[in-house]
Structure 1
């Protein structure tokens, strides 16, 4: 039986994926610099000593300049490792560590696995998204890893999704298991959307 919410999510993800593929290398480079500056300012604003982030794919807003700068500043950065059971494991970011292809075919670091609950100790979560709406509802890429993680953390820290400017929408389709985010980080701004939603 067709699910209208799933169908709407699939259609929107396809449109967003296509838009991202059309970005020029120059636009991606500019976006990477903006994302790094916005994330560094957010870390300072939150006063975070430990954060979770992720290794971006080529289609995503670039996170590596921020990751390298954060580690150089002495901030503990945890990076996710996908598991076959649908949970995320975590490793400490090391700019010199090898990168391999994870369960979903996305880049993941090689390192000592800390276990799914390691993320409970971060002061700020930085996560990927396809889009976010103005109420803070996030549209992910359909696997549910981050929704499960966010939903399982007691006293969850602020959660910010990294997106391109055009991906902050008026509304995204959502289901009961979808988790809102505190705000978004784009190449040009950081916006708090749902401070009470976390």
Structure 2
């Protein structure tokens, strides 16, 4: 990665993180409800019976309501667990979701750990992002876990990144390892983007 791209990404991430930190609890709750509605509709539209999602942190657009609801409706939900080698393990979400603090302070499930290839047979992936561009490029938070996961998949399912409405941008700084997504889910809409991820 060139210094210029790395610097641009760092600056943009800092700005996006600051904006997220300024949201009120009421704004976050409203966003989480909107995300849950959008994701439920996306699952219905795609007919997904097995999905991967993640447990949102306090500043991310909330996904926990959606995960709880999906499990209650009988959808198999895989949740990521970070590893020291840069790969993701997975655990199946259940009714009494036990959560612990994982690497980087992220909320992660406690339970039977499935290896990195477990995500290979999901019908839909829902992943975090700092921002998404109109051409489908995704800016993550700089650790590369999801880029590595997506890049190693043979057959990619539809992949949607969850962001706030203000984080859908015209373009983003990018590097060779950055992976595109199929679309973005915000609290108010779900958009399929120009560059399909599969």
TM-score for both structures, normalised by structure 2: 0.97
Q: Deviations over 1:55-90 (max 9, x none)?
A: 000010000110011001100000000000000000
Structure 2: gaps (5+ residues): none
SS at match of 2:105: coil
How large is the Cα RMSD of the aligned pairs? Answer: 1.2
Give 2:187's aligned residue. 187
Give 1:109's aligned residue. 109
Equivalent pairs, count: 198
Give 1:21's aligned residue. 21
Residues 164 and 186 in structure 2, CA contact (< 8 A), matched pair in contact too: yes
Q: Indicate whether 1:81 and 2:81 are aligned.
A: yes
Q: CA deviation at 1:189?
A: 0.1
Q: Deviations over 1:19-70 (max 9, x none)?
A: 0000011111110110000000000111000000000000100001100110
Give 1:176's aligned residue. 176
Q: Deviations over 1:83-140 (max 9, x none)?
A: 0000000000124132111122111010100110000010000000000000000000
Give 2:100's aligned residue. 100
Q: CA deviation at 1:7?
A: 0.3
SS at match of 1:51: strand
TM-score for both structures, normalised by structure 1: 0.97
SS at match of 1:37: helix
Q: Distance in 1 between matches of 2:40 and 2:92?
A: 18
Q: Distance in 2 between matches of 1:8 and 1:95?
A: 41
Give 1:50's aligned residue. 50
Structure 1: gaps (5+ residues): none
